[in-house]
């Protein structure tokens, strides 16, 4: 705890080495990680968290980097967490870090961290949230959380972010496909990137059409922004849209609600994880192995096995 205490203080001062080390402790599930997170937690809540998501190849990294530069110019401290939930079987993206643009990385005030899942499925979004806490406590005012994928990972990002931006390209397919991908549900607004390509206006229009079909309550209405991020075109409009959404969430009280729900979610996750660890003792693992043998011989079903195992975990 001595060294840990030092790290915490250094994180609060925004020390990059300490921040990197703190995130590594979290990533590696080090024994000191929880103590660290407990100390850090009261200093969180100041950063605005922006989720950048969408299908592979849409230019999410470029947009994150350009947005980071934009916010830096405003004098803000920025952090980027690139979540790569995609290589659980081998332990991380093979080329993930190397294909990132490096211009923002040269700026010492932008902290960039890639996180990949290393076999522990489901744990990645938790760790990404905790890494964001570290950046938050270290004084980042803007945290960009970038994820690859269309599916559960987006939902997790949408839950962890204050504003979620979905990045598409003109070729991302017609509106029906976008809806099938469920991106409509989580986007606070859309970006059609690479809008110098053919079909960009039509893509933006068809997304708007589909958005118009949805039932809206009062308040925020998702819209579409067109960008050519590689040429820095439209990044200011993206930032402006984020600002508008933030103002809307703040004035409606929704930001507070969102963040409260996030705390509840986190507590539920912590408890589920602890129960899992407590349940699966070596003895129960042995019983499981025996049950599986019976099940493959068709003498028992998984439902019976689960019930039998649960009987040994009496709660008082």
Write out the binding residues for a copy of itself, residues 227-286 only, by CB under 8 A. Answer: 256, 259-260, 263-264, 266-268, 270-272, 274-276, 278-280
Rounded to whole angstroms, what are the CA distances from 159 to 213, 229, 234?
A: 24, 25, 26
Q: Which two tokens stand for residue 173?
A: 């397919």
- C-beta closer to a copy of itself: residue 57 or 243: 57
> Quick one: which of 8, 64, 77, 153 contacts a copy of itself (CB under 8 A)?
153
The nearest distance, CB 33 to a copy of itself, in angstroms, is 10
Is residue 182 involved in binding a copy of itself (CB under 8 A)? yes
Is residue 290 involved in binding a copy of itself (CB under 8 A)? no
How do beta strands 142-147 and 163-168 pair? unpaired
Is residue 296 involved in binding a copy of itself (CB under 8 A)? yes
> Quick one: which of 101, 176, 221, 247 contacts a copy of itself (CB under 8 A)?
176
The nearest distance, CB 241 to a copy of itself, in angstroms, is 20
- C-beta closer to a copy of itself: residue 205 or 213: 213
Let me know: does 178 contact 207? Beta carbons within 8 Å: yes
Let me know: does 58 contact 51? Beta carbons within 8 Å: no
- C-beta closer to a copy of itself: residue 208 or 266: 266
Is residue 309 involved in binding a copy of itself (CB under 8 A)? yes
Rounded to whole angstroms, what are the CA distances from 197 to 56, 177, 227, 261?
A: 17, 19, 11, 40
Is residue 14 involved in binding a copy of itself (CB under 8 A)? no
Is residue 181 involved in binding a copy of itself (CB under 8 A)? yes
Let me know: does 129 contact 17? Beta carbons within 8 Å: no
175 forms bridges with which residues in the sheet? Answer: none
Let me know: does 306 contact 312? Beta carbons within 8 Å: no
Nearest residue to 140 via CA among 82, 81, 77: 77
The nearest distance, CB 104 to a copy of itself, in angstroms, is 19
DSSP 42: G
Nearest residue to 72 via CA among 235, 216, 276, 302: 235
> Quick one: which of 22, 51, 55, 211 contacts a copy of itself (CB under 8 A)?
55
Residues 60-89 that bind a copy of itself (CB under 8 A): 84-89
> Quick one: which of 99, 106, 198, 282 contacts a copy of itself (CB under 8 A)?
99
């Amino acid at each position: 705890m001595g060294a840990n205490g030092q790290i915490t203080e250094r994180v609060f001062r925004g020390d990059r080495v300490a921040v990197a080390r703190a995130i590594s402790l979290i990533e590696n599930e080090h024994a000191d990680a929880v103590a660290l997170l407990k100390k850090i937690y009261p200093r969180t809540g100041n950063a605005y968290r922006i989720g950048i998501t969408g299908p592979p190849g849409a230019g999410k990294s470029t947009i994150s980097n350009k947005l980071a530069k934009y916010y830096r110019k405003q004098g803000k401290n920025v952090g980027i967490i690139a979540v790569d939930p995609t290589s659980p079987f081998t332990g991380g993206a093979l080329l993930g870090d190397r294909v990132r643009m490096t211009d923002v990385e040269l700026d010492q005030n932008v902290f960039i961290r890639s996180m990949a899942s290393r076999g522990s499925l489901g744990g990645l979004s938790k760790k990404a949230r905790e890494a964001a806490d570290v950046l938050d406590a270290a004084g980042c005012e803007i945290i960009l959380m970038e994820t690859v994928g269309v599916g559960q990972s987006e939902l997790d990002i949408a839950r962890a972010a204050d504003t979620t931006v979905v990045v598409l390209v003109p070729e991302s397919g017609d509106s029906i496909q976008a809806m099938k991908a469920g991106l409509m549900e989580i986007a606070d607004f859309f970006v059609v990137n690479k809008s110098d390509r053919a079909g960009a206006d039509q893509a933006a229009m068809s997304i708007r059409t589909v958005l118009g079909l949805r039932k809206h309550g009062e308040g925020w209405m998702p819209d579409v922004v067109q960008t050519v991020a590689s040429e820095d075109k439209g990044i200011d409009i993206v930032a402006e849209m984020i600002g508008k959404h933030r103002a809307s969430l703040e004035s409606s009280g929704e930001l507070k609600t969102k963040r409260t729900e996030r705390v509840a979610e986190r507590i539920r996750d912590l408890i589920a994880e602890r129960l899992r660890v407590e349940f699966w003792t070596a003895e129960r693992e042995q019983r499981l192995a025996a049950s599986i043998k019976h099940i493959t011989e068709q003498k028992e079903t998984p439902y019976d096995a689960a019930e039998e195992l649960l009987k040994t975990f009496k709660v008082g």
